[in-house]
Chains A and B, each alone.
With several copies, the nearest count.
Chain A
Amino acid sequence: MSGFPFTTVLVANRGEIALRVIRTLRVLGLRSVAVYSDADAGAPHVLAADRAVRIGPAPARESYLSIPALLQAVRDSGAQAVHPGYGFLSENAAFARALADAGVVFVGPPAEVLEASADKLTVKRRVAAGGVPVIPGPLGAVPDEPAALQAAARETGYPLLLKAAAGGGGKGMRVVREAGGLLEAAESARREAGGAFGSTVLYLERLVTDARHVEVQVLCDRHGQVRVLGERDCSLQRRHQKVLEEAPAPGLPPEQRRRVHEAGAAAARALGYVNAGTVEMLLDPEGRCWFLEVNRRLQVEHPVTEATFGVDLVAWQLRVAAGERLPPQDEFVARGHAVEARVYAEDPGQGFLPSCGRITALDVPEGPGLRVDGAWGVGQEVSPHYDPMLAKVIAHGATREEAFARLDDALARTAVTGVRTNVGYLRAILADPEVRAGRVAIDLLERRAGELAEPAAPADLVLLAAAAHALLRGAAVTAPAVGAAGAARATPDSPWQSLAGFRLGEPSR
């Protein structure tokens, strides 16, 4: 039926991405196997799969990052293929190699490709040799010895960036503005990287300032064909954590867009890349693009590409892993504009600290042109063990303006209680004049933090809602009395200026 050389696919991940992969597996007629730690028994991805296998206790290192536990789960479930999602072991060459040795298909780059690109410095050298411009910085690992580290940093020059060689998604990454903070930043980055990736190797790069983050989605088959599925702009980041992503990149002159796509394709070719990947680049104010790194997996933000190109990237990952040939480049055509907002369990009013707890109420927005990828639900525990992303809300529109308006309307209809979220912050970003004008840059969110701070609470409205809730509880839902009340009747003399300016779907004052 399916035409695939495998029938059962184990998804070596959790949360929304595991759920999203399982959805595609079902559509393609493939059986799905979920894995879970003790913290995730009863989690949405576990409930959605055809079968679920426990792989260990809550800490990721003992479950989702444990290669032996996952190999055992593959054996127990009889899976013939593994989709790694993003994060965890998705770019781990040892995992891909162990699967290959066991005759199991890894739905991602083959082990050889991961092995040859496991060290990001090697990658940097290889893409540079392929004609792709790279960011200045030593092409070697950060030394353990403090004095040597400080010397290397001095040579690179401040401000600089400490990055985990095995890192991604902002984990194990630190900006260092001056020598004083270097050692502590390195220690902290090492600890974080060790926890997340099992490797503490760091490297240094010059911090390119005032730049935009533009990345190219590539799709490469096993027959040497490289396809470019446009670019995404992910400049809107907070502490190296992407917050809002869009496709295409706004305001890119055609010539720059062409250069960015060519650099992406060149990087993929230089690495002999196979499967879906992302070539991240910085675009400086002069319009020059710099190779940042290659993400050898599906990105969190892949849905904006799916929305504009009308493709299912997970389906393509599976087809490529099955040896299929990609169609010609001109069959991939983008349409309209898409934007994704990441809803995090964090408290913007308290320095964006993570917010753990149990979700007590949840309204998920729906409507034409919207997609919500989440693994949340009422009763769901948001655990301190894993990523704080609750969901991604993706809007598509004919134009950027339409997509942004649709996303804002969707966020206005989103309600989460039990944990604090950044939904209000996301709406503030969407309302920001620089963002609306498309003048995005990596430092924008930091630079405009003041303007993006939570507005004063609409106290009277909040009180009215609390009172209405308390007084209407148990009331007939469609009370004829209310129905008969007819059109809204404001008391004309009440001081409702504050509410008059308040409208769902529009950023409040």
Chain B
Amino acid sequence: MSAPSFRRRLALGTRVLAAELRLSSEGLLEGHVHEGEARRSLAAEAVRAPDGSVLLRVGGEAVRARVVRQGDVTTVVVGGRAYELRDAEQAAPGQAAAEEPFATSPMTGLVAKVSVAPGARVAAGAPLFIVEAMKMEYVVRATREVVVREVRRKAGEKVALGEVVVAFEASAAGRA
């Protein structure tokens, strides 16, 4: 009987980890992880709790984890802290360049104010728009001098994390 195995390339923040783990019929989880040039051996006894959480025992230490997979993100909560593993095939190969031709919302919320209009030339550091959620508001500023091409959300409208609110002319710099 071949042991069920877990082979995945996963991104954890900026780290990319390639895991190769097998579960024996006795509940022993064993294998390796590759990270860049490094290769580490891993082993733990694994139990699934009736509530669906996972218990790992390693060297007499017990760690309980709550794991939820949604889309290409696996969230692992350990000791109250949540870690997000992203399937690395889908993960961006590098961080997006600073000079995007648009400004996106840093959080899901409501647009509280838009300070610019199409055609406006905005200096680096000047406010573009304000997003508000719960008790907090966040001022999004131009990171360089830009010319506004389009404003896609107006004050009072909902906006999701990462959604474009203001687009720039491809003039000044960067990829168009």
Task: Give yes or no for direct A-B contact (beta carbon below 8 Å).
Answer: yes
Question: Contacting chain B: which of A148-156, A200-208, A486-494?
Answer: A486-494
Indicate if the CB atoms of A380 and B50 lie closer than 8 Å. yes
Query: Which B residue sits closest to A469, measured CB to CB?
Result: B67
Interface string of B22-41 (1 = CB under 8 A from A): 01011111110101000011
Indicate if the CB atoms of B13 and A361 lie closer than 8 Å. no
* Given A467-B6, A484-B26, A489-B45, A461 and B109 contact (CB-CB distance below 8 Å): no
Interface string of A70-104 (1 = CB under 8 A from B): 00000001000000000000000000000000000
- Min distance, Cβ B75 to any Cβ of chain A, angstroms: 4
> What residues on B are CB-neighbors of A485 within 8 Å?
26-28, 45
- Min distance, Cβ A91 to any Cβ of chain B, angstroms: 17
Question: Contacting chain B: which of A106-114, A274-282, A406-414?
Answer: A406-414
Indicate if the CB atoms of A413 and B60 lie closer than 8 Å. no
Q: How far is the CA of A50 from the CA of B12 in the complex (A)?
A: 27
Q: How far is the CA of A384 from the CA of B110 in the complex (A)?
A: 7
Q: How far is the CA of A490 from the CA of B113 in the complex (A)?
A: 44
Question: Contacting chain A: which of B91-99, B129-137, B163-171?
Answer: B129-137
Indicate if the CB atoms of A490 and B67 lie closer than 8 Å. no
Q: How far is the CA of A77 from the CA of B59 in the complex (A)?
A: 11
Query: Of B23, B79, B132, which is within 8 A of A471 by CB?
Result: B23
Interface string of A435-478 (1 = CB under 8 A from B): 00000000000000000001001111111111111111101011
- Min distance, Cβ B73 to any Cβ of chain A, angstroms: 10
Q: Is residue A379 within 8 Å, beta carbon to beta carbon, of the partner chain?
A: yes
Indicate if the CB atoms of B135 and A462 lie closer than 8 Å. no
Q: Is residue B124 within 8 Å, beta carbon to beta carbon, of the partner chain?
A: no
Q: Is residue A434 within 8 Å, beta carbon to beta carbon, of the partner chain?
A: no
Instruction: Please report which residues of chain B, range 33-80, place their CB below 8 angstroms from some CB of chain A when the two chains form the complex.
Output: 33, 35, 40-70, 74-80
Q: How far is the CA of A81 from the CA of B17 in the complex (A)?
A: 42
Q: How far is the CA of A499 from the CA of B54 in the complex (A)?
A: 16
Interface string of A26-46 (1 = CB under 8 A from B): 000000000000000110100
Query: Of A41, A386, A423, A487, which is within 8 A of B80 by CB?
Result: A423
Query: Of A457, A460, A471, A488, which is within 8 A of B57 by CB?
Result: A488
Q: How far is the CA of A191 from the CA of B127 in the complex (A)?
A: 16
> What residues on B are CB-neighbors of A195 within 8 Å?
132
> What residues on A are CB-neighbors of B31 within 8 Å?
467
> What residues on B are CB-neighbors of A135 within 8 Å?
none
Query: Of B6, B42, B82, B107, which is within 8 A of A494 by CB?
Result: B42
Indicate if the CB atoms of A468 and B48 lie closer than 8 Å. yes
Interface string of B127-163 (1 = CB under 8 A from A): 0000011111111000000000000000000100000
Indicate if the CB atoms of B44 and A464 lie closer than 8 Å. yes
Q: Is residue B85 within 8 Å, beta carbon to beta carbon, of the partner chain?
A: yes
> What residues on B are CB-neighbors of A169 within 8 Å?
135
Q: Is residue A357 within 8 Å, beta carbon to beta carbon, of the partner chain?
A: yes
Indicate if the CB atoms of B57 and A477 lie closer than 8 Å. no
Indicate if the CB atoms of B17 and A360 lie closer than 8 Å. no
Indicate if the CB atoms of B23 and A495 lie closer than 8 Å. no
Indicate if the CB atoms of B62 and A378 lie closer than 8 Å. no
Number of A-B contacts (CB under 8 A): 287
Query: Of B21, B43, B81, B132, which is within 8 A of A424 by CB?
Result: B81
Indicate if the CB atoms of B49 and A47 lie closer than 8 Å. yes
> What residues on A are CB-neighbors of B70 within 8 Å?
360
Number of contacting residues on A, CB 8 A?
95
Query: Which A residue sits closest to B113, measured CB to CB?
Result: A191
> What residues on A are CB-neighbors of B136 within 8 Å?
346, 352-354, 388
Query: Of B35, B43, B62, B76, which is within 8 A of A50 by CB?
Result: B62
Indicate if the CB atoms of A464 and B46 lie closer than 8 Å. yes
- Min distance, Cβ A272 to any Cβ of chain B, angstroms: 31
> What residues on A are CB-neighbors of B61 within 8 Å?
50-51, 488, 499-500, 502-503
Indicate if the CB atoms of A477 and B48 lie closer than 8 Å. yes
Indicate if the CB atoms of A468 and B44 lie closer than 8 Å. yes
Q: Is residue A350 within 8 Å, beta carbon to beta carbon, of the partner chain?
A: yes
Q: Is residue A504 within 8 Å, beta carbon to beta carbon, of the partner chain?
A: yes
Q: Is residue B114 within 8 Å, beta carbon to beta carbon, of the partner chain?
A: no
- Min distance, Cβ B157 to any Cβ of chain A, angstroms: 11
> What residues on B are CB-neighbors of A388 within 8 Å?
133-136
Query: Of B13, B53, B58, B110, which is within 8 A of A488 by CB?
Result: B58
Indicate if the CB atoms of B85 and A468 lie closer than 8 Å. no
Indicate if the CB atoms of A479 and B74 lie closer than 8 Å. no
Instruction: Please report which residues of chain A, range 319-347, place their CB below 8 angstroms from some CB of chain B when the two chains form the complex.
Output: 345-346
Indicate if the CB atoms of A465 and B80 lie closer than 8 Å. no
> What residues on A are CB-neighbors of B59 within 8 Å?
488, 490, 496, 499-500
Query: Which A residue sits closest to B158, measured CB to CB?
Result: A384
Indicate if the CB atoms of B133 and A490 lie closer than 8 Å. no
Indicate if the CB atoms of A494 and B41 lie closer than 8 Å. yes
Q: How far is the CA of A466 from the CA of B54 in the complex (A)?
A: 9
Q: How far is the CA of A484 from the CA of B25 in the complex (A)?
A: 11
Q: Among B4, B15, B65, find the residue whose CB has the most chain A CB atoms closer than 10 A.
A: B65
Indicate if the CB atoms of A477 and B49 lie closer than 8 Å. yes
- Min distance, Cβ B167 to any Cβ of chain A, angstroms: 22
Indicate if the CB atoms of B76 and A465 lie closer than 8 Å. yes
Interface string of A357-372 (1 = CB under 8 A from B): 1001101000000000
Q: Is residue A402 within 8 Å, beta carbon to beta carbon, of the partner chain?
A: no
New A-B pairs, 6, CB < 8 Å, besides A51-B60, A354-B108: A454-B81, A468-B65, A481-B25, A488-B57, A491-B30, A504-B63
21 contacts between A and B (CB under 8 A): A42-B50, A192-B137, A195-B132, A355-B107, A377-B51, A423-B81, A426-B80, A461-B65, A467-B21, A468-B46, A469-B54, A471-B46, A472-B23, A472-B46, A472-B47, A479-B47, A488-B59, A491-B30, A500-B58, A504-B62, A504-B64
**Could you tell me which B residues sit within 8 Å of A by CB distance?**
4-6, 8, 10, 12-13, 15, 17, 19, 21, 23, 25-31, 33, 35, 40-70, 74-83, 85, 106-110, 112-113, 132-139, 158
